[in-house]
Every structure is written in structure tokens, then in C-alpha cells.
Structure 1
Amino acid sequence: MSDQHQPPPGWSAPPPGPPTQPPAGQSYAARPAPYAAAHKPGAIPLRPLRIGDMYDAAFKIIRFNPRATVGSAVLVAAVAMAIPLLATAALGAALDLSTTSDLYLSSGDATGSASGEDIAGFIGVFGSLMVGTILQGIGLILVGGMIAHVVAAAATGHKLSLGQAWAATRGKRWRLIGLTFLLGLATTLLLVLYALTWVVVAFTATGWQVPVVYGFVTVPAFIAFFLWFWVRVYYLPVPALMLEPIGVLGAVGRGFHLTRGSFWRTFGIALLTYVIAQIAGSMLSMPISLLSQGVLLGGASGETGVYVLVLGQAIASVITAAFVAPFTTSVATLQYVDLRMRQEAFDVVLMQRAGLTRS
């Protein structure tokens, strides 16, 4: 992550003249005109960002540095999805997979008449797909850490190569995996605890009125609390962990601190980003999924149908990961940068990194 690299083409150079700094002890959030002209040494103007600034910067970063963004996601997803392809080929050499696609199309209804070899092949093929999906998820966690560094460098007009982005995560990789596991565990516990309350109500209620009233009161409350948890606890710790000298719990605390007083804005941008990513990912992968399903329904059977099915799932997964991971991580990191500029005059730090002002 050297400052010697030139900014990518298409990013405007800063205007002449000395940079404007906020008064001592004051952040951009206190300024009367937060969207006035600002220095833009890289992908973003160094001032509080609008949602258009974030999306424009996210697409610019992906466009001008595809290897460290889309390339890293594709590489991880392709390696992970190679596992079910190789496993299916190995199972095809050892077992008869001629009925595996039929079992899939029947949603398992025909397992009663299937032999032990048929069931073993079915479990092996789709179990390998699950393993590949899990490994892809772990790999994309590390890709997210890399992209956080790519975005931070792009904010100051620097471009990280794939190798530089990977090197920038050194010392934080296991912490990043631990943070993701911790957040996932906390989310799972919330869901399990709420489900257990329903079990208690179901076993102790003497009539239908109590569960109905309980659901009417607690379901909206739980959804509201879950969304609060997503924004205040879950959403921003990853860029905080990668870009600050803190640990796992410190990253959670930083995310909680930065979103204080900015819940609705953070929630709105995060939700819109999630919806855009899911729709775009589905649209990109849908042709492959429909093609593979059409080949199966059109008469492909036996081992050929199995290979078509697994190959289609693998390609669709890679295509989805290629867009969703870089876009969502870039926007989340840009929200982190925006909140720091609003609350901590982080723009001054970015100006120093860009060489626009002295340290």
C-alpha cells in the first residue's frame, strides 16, 4: 500500500489553492454548507458524502481497479466452486449418479425407492455444493477486508494491486474471520432466543388468544430490534477493524459509536444497497440457473444432468459473488469513511495521506 502508485485514470485532480480545514474541535457535521466544493484527489470528494457520491465512487473503484475487487471475488468463488465440480467428477467415477438428477427434480420424494448408492451419490453431490458454498463465504470475508483497504486507498487517489490489497490485511485476517463468526453467532443467538420464547408460549398458553396477542406485540418489536442490531452492531465493524489499529471488540464498539445519531441514514443506505445487490446478483445469475434447469427439464438425465446441474450452480454462484461482494463492501466502507468525516474530521487525515496538506 505504497503512496508511490499513480491514481487510476478518470479521477479528478485537486483544485489549486490550500485545502479548507474545519475549525478546531469541529467536524463537517457542524458546517452550514456541507456539500460545498471540496478536494477530490481520488474516488470521493473529501467532505460528507451523499448517497450518489457513494454509489458513484463504488462503481468507479470497481471499474478502475477490477483485479483487486471483482477479480479477487471471482478468484475466491471459482476456487471454492471447483470443489463440487471435482467432487462430482470423482463420485461419477466411483458411483452410479444416473438417478441423482431425478432425485433432485423430485425434491427427494423418490428416496424411498432409491438404492443406498443412489442416496450416497445424492448426498455426496449436494454435500460438496454446500461445502463449496461455505468455503466461498469464508473466502469472501477475506475479500471484504481487502476491498476495505482498496476503497480507503482510492479515497486518496491511490490504486492497490491485488497483491498489495492482500498484504494490507496481514495481521488482521484471523481477527476478521473471528469478528464475522462473533457477529454471526450473536445473530443466531438472537433468533434462537426469540424462537424459544415462542416455544414457551405455545406450551404454556391455554388458548389461541395468548399466541396471537404475543405475536402481534413481539413480532414488530423483534423486527425493529433486529434491524437496530444490524445497523448499530453488525454493519460497520469490518471496515473499522481493517482500517484502524483495534481488535474485534474494539471494531464492534467503533461501529456502534459511529452510527450513533445516524441510524436512519445508515439504515436507509444499507437497505437500499442490499436490495440493489440482491436484485442485480439474481439478474446476472438467473440466465445460467434457468439454462441448467431447462436442460434438466428438457430431457438431460443420468450423469450428464448431474454435471449440468452442478456446473450451473457453480457458475451462477461465481457470477453473483463477482458483483455482490465488491459492491456491498465498497458502499459499507464508504459509509464508514463518511461517518468519520462527519464526526471526526477524517477528511483532514485523508488530505494528509493524499499529500494535500502537511502532517
Structure 2
Amino acid sequence: MSDGHGSTPGTPSGWASNQPPPYGNAPGSPWTAPGAPPPPQSPPPPPQQPYGGQAPPQPQAPHDQAPPYHPGPYGGQPHGYRPPPAALRPGIIPLRPLGLGDILDGAIKLIRSNPKTVLGLSVIVAALGAIPVAIGQSALLTGMSAELDGSAASIGPQSTDFLSQYGGTLISYAVQFIAVTLLTGVLTRILGRAVFGGRTTGGEAWRLTRDRVPTLFGLVVVSMLVMLLPLALIFALLWVLASAGADIGSTVLLGAVLVLGFIAYALFVTTRLALAASVAVLERRGVLASLRRSWTLVNGGFWRTLGILLLTQLIAGLATTALSFPFTLAGAFIGVTGETSTASQIGAAVLIAIGGTIGAMITYPFQAGVQGLLYADRRMRAEAFDLVLQTAAIEQQRQGWVHASADDLWDPSITPAGPGRDGRTGQGAPWSPF
């Protein structure tokens, strides 16, 4: 009778006939005490399992099962853990619902992916908007210099009237009303193809966008009316109260409440209509249809959209101030100390215009990119549009190039929207004022 420690001379392994083979269960498993011998007359105990006593999968398990769990000396991932696959990213964004970092990074990548076209268009628009402001500010600085020198009488009171102080700003807003609207449309078209890694020249982008120019102007006009009519009513009401001899304290308090209400109204409306320009260009819809579509897409994501837009405005404002401050400071110094000479006015205007142009040429495409990517994100969340984009990107990778027909993917009349992650298609009719 063997005691379990002897060996049979005829066995190749030298083990007793009633013992298991040496590689049936590895004694060095991480769930057994290292070096612990098996008890006599019995096979080694099975390794201790961390999850319900189930044995780990064997090497011969089917390929679609999870791999065995092999933790390191300091622990590891749960049994069978596999990290999710990385999202397909052929262009400036991953083709999945976007986070805040994806949107901001994608807006920067839009500029870097096609800098000649994006910055070239932006610098033209920025200069058109900055020159009137620079002229108005230089005139104002010259008037301040004259007052400091005591020669304001020779210039006259017209130097500090409303037109000299705010005329340049009003003209700048009028120019931006036209130029920035066109720029947003053109950059949105460039962004629509940059999502797939494609590039668009400035001429091609303009050719694809020029038929949408009337719609873009219509969007701006309607949006301004929606914003300015309540403000006009507030001022009219306060003027009537002041003319009727109402109590000044009550009138001021009412005015403060109405102004706060208007700010909340303005934030609400601008957020709900922020995607209208992208809709008008990429989906080729009319004015009211674009406004209604934007209103619908923002449903379910209002606060997130509002937060991203406010953060974008803050970033753009800080960047513009930082980039233009040295030029504005130098222009102010020349304008104040130049003794009202023509050369000082021209020098101050040029420096202020250069600073405003440099700041705006970076922030304009950044803001347009954020709005375009917010539109793409809302469609991916509300309509599962990322599946459409992924399918098209895979086909483009197979062909080895991005075809111009990728622009048609954004049009729901050509590519119907499917059910989104919230169960909506984006084509429904939640309440909208348009």
C-alpha cells in the first residue's frame, strides 16, 4: 500500500498512479498559498475562486468568451473585463456623442485642419468688423487728448457727441451682421466635411454656401426681432411710467426686474435657436423650418447647450482681450499723447484695428465650430446620427478618400434619422413658437 509519496518505476512522470498529472491544475495559481503541498492520498485542492466559487475559463473555451482573469500583484480589473473599443475618429471629432472636451478640441482642430481656408476667411471678416471700431475709438481718444490739453474748444462739442463715441461700434455691428453671418455659414460647410477628415477649399465652401445666404440673413433678422421686441416693450413701459409721474423708486425697481427677466428670456431664446444656422446650411432648410428644427434638437439638452455656449463666450472674450490688449494699449497711448495730430489718429486706428483683427480671426471660427459641433452632438444624441456617420466613415476608409457626397449625409430628407438614445427621432413636433 503506497503512502502517496512513493513512485511507480514504470510511470514516465514518476508520480504515483493514484495522483493527478502535474499540469492538470497549476499549484502556483494566484488563489493558492505558494508552496503548500497537497494533502496525502488526495488530489490537490482546487484553487480558491474570488467570484462565487466558479472555475476560471479554460484555454479551450470558445473565442467569444471573456479571457481568464490574471490580476497583478496589486489587484486588477474584474474577471472578464474588456475596455470598450475606441470610437471611430476619421476627422476632428470621434463619431459618438460628444463631451465638452470633444467639442472644444474639435473646434480647435477645425482651425488646425484647414488653417489657410479658415483663417483666411476669418481675417477678412475680422478686419471688416474691427476697422469701424478702431476709427471710432481713435476719434474718441483724440477728443480726450484735446480735453486734456485744454484745446477742446477748438474742436467743438461735436467731438464727444453720441456719433463720435458710438458710431464706429454701430457700424461695426452692422458689418458683422453681414460678414459674420456669411462666415458662420461657410465654416459650417467646412466643418461638415472635416468631421470625416475631408478638406474643403474656400472657393468650394463658398460655392456650396452661397445659395443659403438669403436664409442666413433671414435667420439673423428673425432672431433680432424676437430679441428686440420684448426689449422695446420694456423701454416703452418705463417711459410711459416716467412720463406719468410714477414714483421713481418703484419705476427703477420695476425696470430692474424687467431687465433681469429679459436677460433670462434672451438666454433661453438664443440657446434654443443656436443651431439654426447649422441646420440652414447642412440640412438646406428655410428660415422658419431651421428655427423650428433648432428648437426641437435642443429639447432634452437645454442646460447643457446653454452651459457650453456661455463657456465658449467666456473663452472667446478672454482670448480676444489677451490677443488685442497690447495693440489697444499702444493705440491708446499714441492717441492720447499724439496732440490731436492726423498721424496719431491714423496710428491709433491702425493699432486698434490690428489688435481687434487678430483676436477676432481666432475667436470667430472657434465660436462657429462650437455651434456646429453642438448641432452634430444633438443629432447624435436625439437621432443616433453617429451610426450614420460611422457607416459612411467606414465606407470612405474602404475607398481611401472622402467624397463630396458626404455633405448629403447631413440632410435628413436624403438620410432619414433613426430613433435616438432618448427614444425620439428629432423629427417630431414638440412645441415650438416657429
Consecutive unaligned residues in structure 2, runs of 5 or more: 1-83, 399-414, 416-434
Compare 343-352 and 196-205 and name the one that shifted more.
196-205
The one-character-per-residue Cα deviations of 1:187-238 (angstroms, maximum 9, x if unpaired) are 22222122222223434564346335534654433322221111113x1111
Q: Partner of 1:171: helix, strand, or coil? A: helix
More helix per residue: 1 or 2? Answer: 1
Corresponding position of 2:385: 346
Compare 177-186 and 201-210 and name the one that shifted more.
201-210
Q: CA deviation at 1:292?
A: 0.8
- What does 1:51-130 correspond to in 2, within 5 Å? 51-78=100-127, 102-103=142-143, 105=145, 113-114=153-154
Instruction: Answer yes or no: is the 8 Å Cα contact 2:189–2:208 preserved in 1.
Output: yes
Distance 2:227 2:164 in 1: 30
| Identity, % of aligned positions | 33
Instruction: Answer yes or no: is the 8 Å Cα contact 1:81–1:133 preserved in 2.
Output: no
Q: CA deviation at 1:174?
A: 1.9
> Which 4+ stretches in 1 moved above 6 angstroms?
82-85, 107-112, 122-126
Aligned partner of 2:106: which letter?
A
Does residue 154 in structure 1 map to residue 197 in structure 2? no
- What does 1:164-179 correspond to in 2, within 5 Å? 164-179=204-219
The one-character-per-residue Cα deviations of 1:267-325 (angstroms, maximum 9, x if unpaired) are 00000000100110111111101011112233454111111122123212211220121
Aligned partner of 2:318: which letter?
I
Q: CA deviation at 1:72?
A: 0.6
Q: Partner of 2:211: helix, strand, or coil? A: coil
Distance 2:130 2:260 in 1: 38
Instruction: Answer yes or no: is the 8 Å Cα contact 1:149–1:243 preserved in 2.
Output: yes
Q: TM-score, normalised by structure 2?
A: 0.63
Aligned partner of 1:347: which letter?
D
- What does 1:1-359 correspond to in 2, within 5 Å? 37-78=86-127, 102-103=142-143, 105=145, 113-114=153-154, 131=171, 134-204=174-244, 206-208=246-248, 210-211=250-251, 214-215=254-255, 217-233=257-273, 235-299=274-338, 301-356=340-395
Q: Partner of 1:245: helix, strand, or coil? A: coil
Distance 2:380 2:128 in 1: 38
Q: TM-score, normalised by structure 1?
A: 0.75
Q: Partner of 1:170: helix, strand, or coil? A: helix
Distance 1:136 1:209 in 2: 38
Aligned partner of 2:355: which letter?
A
Consecutive unaligned residues in structure 1, runs of 5 or more: 1-34, 89-96
The one-character-per-residue Cα deviations of 1:101-150 (angstroms, maximum 9, x if unpaired) are 6325458998973468x96xx97998578546633442121111111111
Distance 2:130 2:254 in 1: 44
The higher relative CO (CA closer than 8 Å, separation ≥ 6) is in: 1
CA RMSD of aligned residues (A): 3.6
Structure showing greater Rg: 2
Instruction: Answer yes or no: is the 8 Å Cα contact 1:84–1:125 preserved in 2.
Output: no
Distance 2:330 2:323 in 1: 13
Q: CA deviation at 1:170?
A: 2.5
Compare 37-46 and 322-331 and name the one that shifted more.
37-46
Distance 2:261 2:383 in 1: 33
Q: Partner of 2:93: helix, strand, or coil? A: coil
The 1:107–1:228 alpha-carbon spacing in structure 2 relative to 1, beyond 3 Å, is farther
